[in-house]
Amino acid sequence: MAKVRIGLFGFGKTGKMIASEFLNDNQFSLAWVVRNSREDRGKYASRLLGYEFDEGKIFSTDEINDSFFNEYPVEALVDFSDAKGVYLYGRAAQQGIRVISAISKYEQAELDLLKSYAKYTSVLYSPNITLGINVLMVAAQILQKIIPHADIEIVEEHYKGKAEVSGTAQKIANALGLDVEEHLNSVRVGGIVGHHEIIFGLPNQIIRLSHESISRAAFGQGAIFAVNHLLGQPPGMYTMETIITEMFRKNIPVY
Amino acid sequence: MAKVRIGLFGFGKTGKMIASEFLNDNQFSLAWVVRNSREDRGKYASRLLGYEFDEGKIFSTDEINDSFFNEYPVEALVDFSDAKGVYLYGRAAQQGIRVISAISKYEQAELDLLKSYAKYTSVLYSPNITLGINVLMVAAQILQKIIPHADIEIVEEHYKGKAEVSGTAQKIANALGLDVEEHLNSVRVGGIVGHHEIIFGLPNQIIRLSHESISRAAFGQGAIFAVNHLLGQPPGMYTMETIITEMFRKNIPVY
Amino acid sequence: MAKVRIGLFGFGKTGKMIASEFLNDNQFSLAWVVRNSREDRGKYASRLLGYEFDEGKIFSTDEINDSFFNEYPVEALVDFSDAKGVYLYGRAAQQGIRVISAISKYEQAELDLLKSYAKYTSVLYSPNITLGINVLMVAAQILQKIIPHADIEIVEEHYKGKAEVSGTAQKIANALGLDVEEHLNSVRVGGIVGHHEIIFGLPNQIIRLSHESISRAAFGQGAIFAVNHLLGQPPGMYTMETIITEMFRKNIPVY
Amino acid sequence: MAKVRIGLFGFGKTGKMIASEFLNDNQFSLAWVVRNSREDRGKYASRLLGYEFDEGKIFSTDEINDSFFNEYPVEALVDFSDAKGVYLYGRAAQQGIRVISAISKYEQAELDLLKSYAKYTSVLYSPNITLGINVLMVAAQILQKIIPHADIEIVEEHYKGKAEVSGTAQKIANALGLDVEEHLNSVRVGGIVGHHEIIFGLPNQIIRLSHESISRAAFGQGAIFAVNHLLGQPPGMYTMETIITEMFRKNIPVY
């Protein structure tokens, strides 16, 4: 079976992790990587990451023009660069190349642009693309409706240096209608990669849903999951959360 | 609004807790309590539990005859006694009194008898009637289908004296198709009331669903939930698990 | 062996728990209980708590005069009443009756008065008299010195209604020199009895010391521990923390 | 100040992590790395690990002879290779080079050989050289003596593939006199790097001491700690546990 060709925007700390996950998975070939700087241009991401074969030729953003996506065709492109990345692949979208964006935060104009691509191809946008966090978020929303008398607190733990409140935790709080000031507790300590816990409190029992990140490779696995999902889907806008929600619906136990 | 009248079978350690929960809840009146011994016969459960009013007159099992349920009518009866309790309230079921049984373990004959009552009235049977545990169980089954590549372990912690493996944990293991010998870990330490954790392991992330019991009053709250649910239901056999499953189905988020 | 006679000040929710723990322990007899109100005066605490024997005769504070402690002699008195209790048992202290106070908060004058009793008898004061919390506090102070490059966070979880920050957590923060605003995280959810966690974070590893309260009976066990300790001690001021510190010193492993 | 020169035996997955930690720390220079195979002989570990300078020249074990340690002098050597490594650096020990061994398991003959080096130099041997685990182990031994009526359980969680029971957990169990079959619970799930928890259970309260490994770099930090400690010590046999024990003794709080 032909491998699914992937193009990657972004080759920072997380981008490298994403590249590795695609390089490790036989189902895919990493066609190219686009990065902002001209560093390592023309080299292969695979070599830079310690593999003994050539995959993921490195381009800089100023090399991306209208013919790029014809010359270096892919089935899907994955964006872990920054909010400006979206300006580079409108042509790709028009050609039907699926788009997976995991950018943390867009300005409205950028988000609108991304959404406009959904006319031509399937576009998935999720700032936290890990499977686990999205499973947690959907499960929490259901639990809140089933046990509306429970009070809910969110605790997130991250590494000492992380200045801002976890965006994922904020998103969970919003989905649950919880005031962030009051119900979101942020602990910053040591080198914790990322831990989110949603606590449902009843007078005589406590339910906890928790997610621990072991490695950022989880983002790569999320991207792989997203690509696989989009391959069978019509054009349109998708999020991990809506996909997982749909999976909840289809997998309700039957007795 | 008229209070919902409740009859209770069982007045052991847990039975007393159940009685207290119904006595505390204005929506209900505890009509009577049936216990195996003749101890405290004719007294009021409410007084024995420190309340300043008369509710829950105590009868012994040998006082239960065909006219009992006419003389002391209730809308629902709740059974926290033992497996033999089911033999006492066939007549009640025929009269349409709803039955909630939280007996740990039935012989097949007893279970068949209980199920036969479902022709006449709504019957709910759940060995662990707490809301939280059943939420956990249903959520775990869905997660297993959504992330089939996760490996799953169950850890249950209970007080030192508890000899056998938690029946609830075994039930969760069975629902997930997990070998109990291999994937169910029992920790016995101190006075832990009850803690169940289901761990979903992926290479780069871990999801944990956990339930901590603070007090056995959670069983009483579960019974109240069950009574409220059955009040609006046609005759038939129910379990907490199927009710919660139905609630999951109805509460899938909509975007 | 003669039982150790105990007098108890305070018969609120926690006071009753304390009384029960002494009533359950064969080593002790509960001589009397003093409460602020005149309610149940002359009755026996044992009977009110469901025991079938007479112990812990109930007095009201206005019955305490100079001859009281001669008439109703005890080896130790335990104070779970309020900050004003200390004014009632100066005479007792002068007679050498050991004093254990678990009052949450004293004004300076009250605390000075309590300390003045230490000239005559052994006096122990600890707002949180549980063994476990004090073990945690001492261990945390040692760990902080051993791994000074760790950053430290405290998380405390309590029941929804608890308005103020846990005094115990504040005390731990003070002992560790941590700014309460910044490093103490309070979670209020459901019916959690009390959970304290001290997290030591290093870049590649995390150590957690945690204490979970299952029941307030732990205070009674702490009081029993304190009485037993004071029985062999000369007059002076003691705290659970100093006793536990001394036990750490004596129990350093030898190789 | 002159950097402390380090020689490293072992360049497997963990060995590489150790090398990185020393390369990252300005206090040290990594003089050389010895590995079993001839792979990458003559290259620099620093370059293979992505650094832009030359440190840690790679030698194969068959290049180690009597003059090696004169030609390539170091202050300390760190062994993360295998049980046979000990045969290679007897001459180094005689010359006073400090030895830190973190080998998992030695045969008696090998261990005896290692110990014989302690006549000439300071030798530290610890199969688990992380700071945190040793802090946990010492703290647990003290707690067991302070609260002898607590029952104790150990839970260790590691990645799915790990076949055997954690050696560290076994060592903790031995130190506490706990039967491994009965009181040590091993959970294997997902990609958990390593989690050890020691639970002290009392009827009304639970104390937990836990250690989570985030990355194997913790071993490197442990090795750095060990080197720093040995630099000021006379010849003799050391373990992390005894060093940490001594630190506990010196850091008991004073009031």
Contacts of B among chains (3+ CB pairs under 8 A): A, C, D
Per cent of chain B over pLDDT 70 is 100
Q: What is the mean pLDDT of residues A27-45?
A: 95
SS3 letters for chain A?
CCCEEEEEECCCHHHHHHHHHHHHCCCEEEEEEEECCCCCCCCEHHHHCCCCCCCCEEEEHHHCCCCHHHHCCCCEEEECCCHHHHHHCHHHHHCCCEEEECCCCCCHHHHHHHHHHHHCCEEEECCCCCHHHHHHHHHHHHHHHHCCCCEEEEEEEECCCCCCCCHHHHHHHHHCCCCHHHHEEEEECCCCCCEEEEEEEECCEEEEEEEEECCCHHHHHHHHHHHHHHHCCCCEEECHHHHHHHHHHHCCCCC
Contact residues of C toward D, CB < 8 A: 130-132, 135-136, 138-139, 141-143, 145-147, 175, 200, 202-218, 221, 241-242, 244-245, 247-249, 251-253, 255
pLDDT of residue C41: 95
Identify the active-site residue in C115, C162, C171, C195.
C162
- Compare all CA atoms of chain C with the CA of B190 and give the residue at the minimum distance: C214
With respect to residue D39, please indicate whether it lies within any of the assigned structural domains. Answer: yes
pLDDT of residue C51: 87
- In tens, the pLDDT along C86-105 reads 999 999 999 999 999 999 89
Nearest to D155 among B187, B204, B206 (CB): B187
DSSP state of B43: S
CATH of the domain at C201: 3.30.360.10
Query: Can you give the length of chain D in residues?
Result: 255
- In tens, the pLDDT along B155-183 reads 999 999 999 999 999 999 999 999 999 99
Identify the active-site residue in D57, D162, D171, D183.
D162
- Residues of chain D in contact with residue C136, where contact means CB-CB under 8 angstroms, are 207
Contacts of C among chains (3+ CB pairs under 8 A): A, B, D
Q: What is the mean pLDDT of residues A188-199?
A: 97
Instruction: Indicate whether A14 and A114 sit together in one domain.
Output: yes
Is a pLDDT exceeding 90 seen at residue A52? no
With respect to residue D116, please indicate whether it lies within any of the assigned structural domains. Answer: yes
Q: What is the mean pLDDT of residues D176-183?
A: 96
pLDDT of residue D224: 97
Is a pLDDT exceeding 90 seen at residue B50? no
Instruction: Indicate whether C200 and C222 sit together in one domain.
Output: no
Instruction: Indicate whether A110 and A30 sit together in one domain.
Output: yes
Structure tokens at C195: 């959970």
Is a pLDDT exceeding 80 seen at residue A1? no
Cα distances (angstroms) measured from residue D112 to each of D75, D84, D93, D107: 23, 13, 14, 9
Instruction: Indicate whether B60 and B184 sit together in one domain.
Output: no
pLDDT of residue C187: 97
CB atoms A190 and D214 under 8 Å = yes
Q: What is the mean pLDDT of residues B70-80?
A: 97
CB atoms C160 and A187 under 8 Å = no
Per cent of chain B over pLDDT 90 is 94
Instruction: Indicate whether C29 and C113 sit together in one domain.
Output: yes
What is d(CA C20, CA C49) in angstroms, rounded to the nearest whole number? 7
Nearest to C146 among D135, D202, D241 (CB): D135
- Compare all CA atoms of chain A with the CA of B205 and give the residue at the minimum distance: A213
- Compare all CA atoms of chain B with the CA of A239 and give the residue at the minimum distance: B255
Instruction: Indicate whether A71 and A136 sit together in one domain.
Output: no
Is a pLDDT exceeding 80 seen at residue C1? no
pLDDT classification of A51: cutoffs 50, 70, 90: confident
Is a pLDDT exceeding 80 seen at residue B1? no
pLDDT of residue D66: 84
- Compare all CA atoms of chain B with the CA of C217 and give the residue at the minimum distance: B191
Between strands B76-79 and B98-101, the pairing is parallel
Q: What is the mean pLDDT of residues B16-39?
A: 96
pLDDT classification of D52: cutoffs 50, 70, 90: confident
Instruction: Indicate whether C188 and C97 sit together in one domain.
Output: no
CA-based nearest distance A201→chain B, Å: 10
Q: What is the mean pLDDT of residues B201-215?
A: 97
Residues 6+ apart with CB under 8 A from D109: none
- Residues of chain C in contact with residue A155, where contact means CB-CB under 8 angstroms, are 155, 185, 187
With respect to residue C253, please indicate whether it lies within any of the assigned structural domains. Answer: no
Q: What is the mean pLDDT of residues A180-206?
A: 97
Q: Tell me whether residue D162 is one of the annotated catalytic residues.
A: yes
CA-based nearest distance B72→chain C, Å: 29
With respect to residue C148, please indicate whether it lies within any of the assigned structural domains. Answer: yes
pLDDT classification of C154: cutoffs 50, 70, 90: very high
Instruction: Indicate whether C175 and C228 sit together in one domain.
Output: no
CB atoms D214 and C208 under 8 Å = no
- Decide: helix, strand or coil at residue C124: strand
Contact residues of D toward A, CB < 8 A: 190-193, 214-215
Is a pLDDT exceeding 80 seen at residue D29? yes
Asked if A196 and A226 touch (Cβ cutoff 8 Å), the reply is: no
- Residues of chain D in contact with residue C251, where contact means CB-CB under 8 angstroms, are 141-142, 145-146
pLDDT of residue B255: 80
pLDDT of residue A195: 97
Residues 6+ apart with CB under 8 A from D3: D26, D27, D28, D29
Q: What is the mean pLDDT of residues D45-65?
A: 93
Instruction: Indicate whether A113 and A231 sit together in one domain.
Output: yes
CB atoms A150 and C190 under 8 Å = yes
CATH of the domain at B102: 3.40.50.720
Q: Is the complex ipTM higher than 0.90?
A: yes
With respect to residue C251, please indicate whether it lies within any of the assigned structural domains. Answer: no
CB atoms A146 and B244 under 8 Å = yes
With respect to residue D108, please indicate whether it lies within any of the assigned structural domains. Answer: yes
- Compare all CA atoms of chain B with the CA of C48 and give the residue at the minimum distance: B50
- Compare all CA atoms of chain D with the CA of C138 and give the residue at the minimum distance: D253
pLDDT of residue B230: 97
Instruction: Indicate whether C221 and C208 sit together in one domain.
Output: no
Contact residues of B toward A, CB < 8 A: 130-132, 135-136, 138-139, 141-143, 145-147, 175, 200, 202-218, 221, 241-242, 244-245, 247-249, 251-253, 255
Q: What is the mean pLDDT of residues D12-23?
A: 95
pLDDT of residue A243: 96
Instruction: Indicate whether C168 and C226 sit together in one domain.
Output: no
Instruction: Indicate whether D146 and D98 sit together in one domain.
Output: no
Q: Tell me whether residue B119 is one of the annotated catalytic residues.
A: no
- Residues of chain A in contact with residue B247, where contact means CB-CB under 8 angstroms, are 145-146
Q: What is the mean pLDDT of residues A55-73?
A: 96
Phi and psi at residue A28, to the nearest 5°: -120, 155
Q: What's the total number of domains in chain B?
A: 2
Is a pLDDT exceeding 90 seen at residue D225? yes
CB atoms A208 and B208 under 8 Å = yes
CA-based nearest distance B46→chain C, Å: 14
CB atoms C202 and A190 under 8 Å = yes
- Spatial CA neighbour of A239 closest among A220, A226, A254, A224: A226
With respect to residue B82, please indicate whether it lies within any of the assigned structural domains. Answer: yes
Q: What is the mean pLDDT of residues C34-40?
A: 93
Q: Which amino acid is at D61?
A: T
CB atoms A202 and C190 under 8 Å = yes
More confident residue, D75 or B105: D75
Residues 6+ apart with CB under 8 A from D234: D122
Q: How many CB atoms lie within 10 A of CB C203?
A: 18
With respect to residue C255, please indicate whether it lies within any of the assigned structural domains. Answer: no
Identify the active-site residue in A43, A57, A84, A162.
A162
What is d(CA D91, CA D69) in angstroms, rounded to the nearest whole number? 8
What is d(CA D72, CA B178) in angstroms, rounded to the nearest whole number? 56
Q: Which domain covers residue A18, as residue numbers?
A: 4-129+217-250
Query: Average pLDDT over chain C, rounded to whole?
Result: 96
Is a pLDDT exceeding 90 seen at residue D12? yes
Q: Please, what sign has the CA dihedral across residues C157, C158, C163, C169?
A: negative
- In tens, the pLDDT along A207-236 reads 999 999 999 999 999 999 999 999 989 999
- In tens, the pLDDT along D88-115 reads 999 999 999 999 999 989 999 999 999 9
Query: Average pLDDT over chain B, rounded to whole?
Result: 96
Q: Which amino acid is at A136?
A: L
pLDDT of residue D255: 80
